[in-house]
Amino acid sequence: MSTKITVDTVLLKLASRCNLDCGYCYVYHMGDDAWRRQPKRMSPQILEAVADRLGELYAKQGSEFSVVFHGGEPLLVGPKRFAEICVALRNRIPLSCGLHLQTNGILLSSDVLDACAEHDVGISISLDGPSATHDRNRVDHRGAPSHAKVLSGVERLLAHPAGAELFSGVLAVVDLDADPGEVYAFLKSIGAPSIDFLYRDGNHDQLPVGKVSLVSTEYGDWMGRLLDIYLADATPVRIRVLDDMLKLLLGGKARKEGIGLNSYGIVVIDTDGAVNKNDTLKSSFAAADRFRAQWSVLTDDLFDIVCSDEFEAYHRSQLPTSPVCLSCQDLAVCGGGMPAHRWSSQNGFTNPSVFCADQHRLIDLMRRHLNRRRLAA
C-alpha cells in the first residue's frame, strides 16, 4: 500500500454526451472514443453506489473534498434527476464538501437553479468570450452557434435570487485569433466573478492549434497581453491562472492544477461507475486515463483505490520528470504544466510541457511587472 493521498476533487461524469460539439474538446475530438461505449447518463443504481462510496471516503479520509458535476454536459440528465443526484450526495457527505457544476449554461433552467440554491451547488460556465470568438469553436451538432443560448443561461443564473452566490466563474479556452482585451472586457461585462483561461490541448506529437513550434511563444504572448490589461484594471475580475502564478513568484501558494509544484488527489467516476484518472489525459493517447485495475464504484472501495500503488503512481505523475524541468529556475512557478501537454510517443510523459517556451515568456513578463512595482520576485 502507498502512503496516504488525500482526495480533494471528484469529477462525477453525469452524462457522457454533450449538446454541443466544440471543435477543440478533448473528450470527443482528440482520438479517444471511449465515450461511445459509456452509458449516456449515470443510472440511479450507479449514483447510489457513488454516493455510498463518497460517504465512505469522507469517513475514512477524514477531510473534505469537492464533487464536480461534469460531462459531456451534466445537465443532460434533466432537472428532476439532477435534483435527485444533489439530494443523494448531500445525504451521504457533509455540507463542507463542496458541490460544483461545470456546464455550458444552455440547460440552466429555473428548476436546475432552484436545486443548486437548495443544495449549495456552485456553477461555472464555459464561455470563450464575445460571439465571434465563442462561436468559432463552440457550436452544436448541426454547426449552429451557441453564444446566444449560453448568454441566456448566464442571464437566468444572475436573475435568480441566489444567482450571485452560485456563480463561481467562467471557463474560457484561449483563442489566439481573439483580442485578449476584448475577451476580458466581455467576460467582465456579463458579471463573471472570476475567469479561468485554459490553453488549447496538444502535445509533442500534435502541437496545439496556433503553435508553430516548441520554441514559439504564441500563447505566452497572448497571456502576456492579457496580463498587462489585468494589472492595469482598477477593478479587475479575478483571473485564476495569473493570480496563482503571481502568488508563486511572491512566495505564496497556488490552487490551480498544472501550476506550481502542488499535486492534487483527483478521481474521475464515469457514467458506468468506472473509476479513472484525470480525463484530460485522453488528449495524449486513447485510454491514457484508464487504470489497469479497472476499478468500479460497484465493486471497489474508493479509499482502498486511493491507497493503492497504482493510484500513487498516477498521483506522482502530476509532477514533471524531464531533466529539463527539474533543472529549470521557473519550475516552482510553472510546475511543468499539465501532464497531457508533456506527452510524446517517443518519451511518454518525460518531456517539458509543449507550452514550456510560452510559460517562460509569461513568467518573465510577470517578473518585469513585479520589479517595476518594487516587489520581490
Look at residue 330 and tell me if it is in a domain.
yes
Give residue 67's pLDDT: 98
Domain harbouring 118, CATH code: 3.20.20.70
Look at residue 1 and tell me if it is in a domain.
no
Look at residue 181 and tell me if it is in a domain.
yes
Look at residue 4 and tell me if it is in a domain.
no
Cell (9 digits) for 370: 513585479
Cell (9 digits) for 292: 489497469
Look at residue 222 and tell me if it is in a domain.
yes
The DSSP call for residue 28 is T
Would you say 128 and 171 are in contact if contact means Cβ atoms under 8 Å apart?
Answer: no
Cα 338 from chain centre: 11
Q: What SS3 state is found at 172? A: strand
**Number of domains the chain is built from:** 1
Give residue 32's pLDDT: 86
Q: Which long-range contacts (CB under 8 A, 24 or more apart) does 311-320 make?
A: 311/2, 311/5, 312/2, 312/3, 312/5, 314/277, 315/5, 315/263, 315/265, 316/263, 317/349, 318/257, 318/263, 318/264, 319/261, 319/263, 320/352, 320/353
Give residue 256's pLDDT: 79
Look at residue 3 and tell me if it is in a domain.
no
Give residue 1's pLDDT: 40
Give residue 328's pLDDT: 97
Task: Give all strands (DSSP E) within the chain, no chain letters.
Answer: 9-13, 66-70, 99-103, 121-126, 167-173, 194-198, 238-239, 266-269, 275-276
State pTM to two decimals: 0.95
Look at residue 2 and tell me if it is in a domain.
no
Tell me the pLDDT of the chain (377 aa) as tens digits: 445 899 999 999 999 999 999 999 999 988 888 899 999 999 999 999 999 999 999 999 999 999 999 999 999 999 999 999 999 999 999 999 999 999 999 999 999 999 999 999 999 999 999 999 999 999 999 999 999 999 999 999 999 999 999 999 999 999 999 999 999 999 999 999 999 999 999 999 999 999 999 999 999 999 999 999 999 999 999 999 999 999 999 999 888 788 999 888 999 999 999 999 999 999 999 899 999 999 999 999 999 999 999 999 999 999 999 999 999 999 999 999 999 999 999 999 999 999 999 999 999 999 999 999 887 54
Give residue 376's pLDDT: 58
Look at residue 299 and tell me if it is in a domain.
yes
Q: What SS3 state is found at 158? A: helix
Containing structural domain, residue 121: 9-372
